[in-house]
Amino acid sequence: MSWDPEHYLTFADERGRPFVDLVNRIGAAEPATVMDLGCGPGNLTAALKQRWPDATVRGLDSSAEMIATARAVEGIEVAVGDLRSFTGPVDVLVSNATLQWLPDHLALLPSLVAQVNPGGWFAFQVPGNFDEPSHTIRRDLAAQAPYADHTAGAPRPDSHDPATYLRVLAGLGCTVDAWETTYLHVLTGPDPVFAWVSSTGARTTLEALEGTGLRPAFEAEFKRRLAQAYPDEGYGVVLPFRRIFVVARVPA
């Protein structure tokens, strides 16, 4: 799938807050090497350079469009690549809102931990809101005719609960801090929840309908149902967003 950096950055402040909350819990003092897996347009990777100015900070993303934008960010090194084939070693390994796109990411955790130097840190954040209307409406609508024939194979994001991640990483000898937070984002503008999900979780479904002639009707009905599920409260549209955080210290 392709990504639109400009569209993604529409809600940069809201998407950035969980990243800041995650990185603030990393206890690394003076790491020499820091890697951001799934760095996107690089705006948050730059915050890693601000946190550790003496470190070499790199970013990796599978989207050429995202990396093209990230290359304009000063102080970081970025490249197009698949995080599943990433090799270290690094002192701090961060992944923000990326692992949910890999169905087997739980099984990938041991190999990611292995890329971190002894005593280093592995931290990631994934959405945990896949039972919310912003996702269930899309899934239900995409499963209906005439859309289902085109959307059945579209990638779907998913994640596990914090206790599952804690158990796997503790089993690898890590000291683990795992928690969850539900943010209440107050959005404004026309169809704000659609604007949010169309740049992230719904993007693969919408792309699957591109060129079929079905996308306009799908979008119109999707917007209608989202507006019912997330009404304007007068001060904005409230989007509850649960996120799951994990910070693991690799054994020395």
pTM of the model: 0.89
H/E/C letters for each residue in 74-100? CCCEEEECCHHHCCCCEEEEEEECCHH
Q: How confident is the model at residue 12 (pLDDT cuts 50, 70, 90)?
A: low
- Give every strand in the sheet of 116-127, ordered side by side: 77-80, 56-61, 33-37, 90-96, 116-127, 237-249, 175-187
The verdict on domain 5-249 having CATH code 3.30.420.40 is: no
> Quick one: pLDDT band at residue 214, thresholds 50, 70, 90?
very high
Greater pLDDT, 201 or 139:
139
